[in-house]
Structure 1
Amino acid sequence: MQRTRELTQAAARALGLDEPTAAQASDDGGVVLNGTLVTVTPMPLEGLAGEAGDDTLVVSATLGCRVGELDAQALCAIFAHAPGVLAVYSAAIGCQPDGELVLHRMVPVRDAAVDTLAQDMFVTQQLAALLGDAATPVRARQ
């Protein structure tokens, strides 16, 4: 857990946060990037990880939409884009108790972990935004 906090703080610094804000991000478990909450957890999600061990983190980002606010057409638009993203980026889509859709990615802890974790956090945010944006034309027509 401590290693995850240290990596999160260093990644937050690499993403441009000042030291006090980066320290707060590590305490909170993540950062807000481009308006998207991105969190880092030290253990794989059950069912997602298989045999992943201590060398794996889960980076999660909200999609910016709630299931209850989307009609079937908007949900289908999101899930039409999901298979490629999920397969290529070792990801899964989940749902918070409040209905917020979340993209979860398993990322390995690498030797140059700080830079790669910062990149993984940014990529996860961008992928979540891409999936969330898939429903935007549908929501805009409503």
Structure 2
Amino acid sequence: MHSQDRPDTRPSAQPSARKQGELPRAEQRPVPADGATEQLHVCFNCASELVYPLDWCEEGLRHWRIVLRCPECESRREGVFEQTCVEQLDDELDRASSTLLGDLRRMTHANMSEEAAFFIKALDADLIVPSDF
């Protein structure tokens, strides 16, 4: 996961200090001891699958400290997670980004097709004249 690939993230060596008026962060959560990998994209509070990282930094060779935010319930949590969990989060974020880009392409195409159809109808009805340009 590279911060420069995500415009809404701010990598730093230290998590940012809490500012006045900012929502309090949830307590830090330890890495699960049972070997199960957490699904970091799922909110611990409301079970939304839209959780994304706000900030992260390395904590040793195979661990990352990450601040996560849920856009639906505004919950935040900070924890130290194993590399495998972080890689799964990165894969999920890539998948979700691809889905969003696909939806954007389809919507853009539909909107442009509709605009072109209106323009053609206006041309056929002589509603557009050279002085319009």
The TM-score with structure 2 as length reference comes to 0.31
The structure carrying a bigger strand percent of its residues is: 1
The structure carrying a bigger helix percent of its residues is: 1
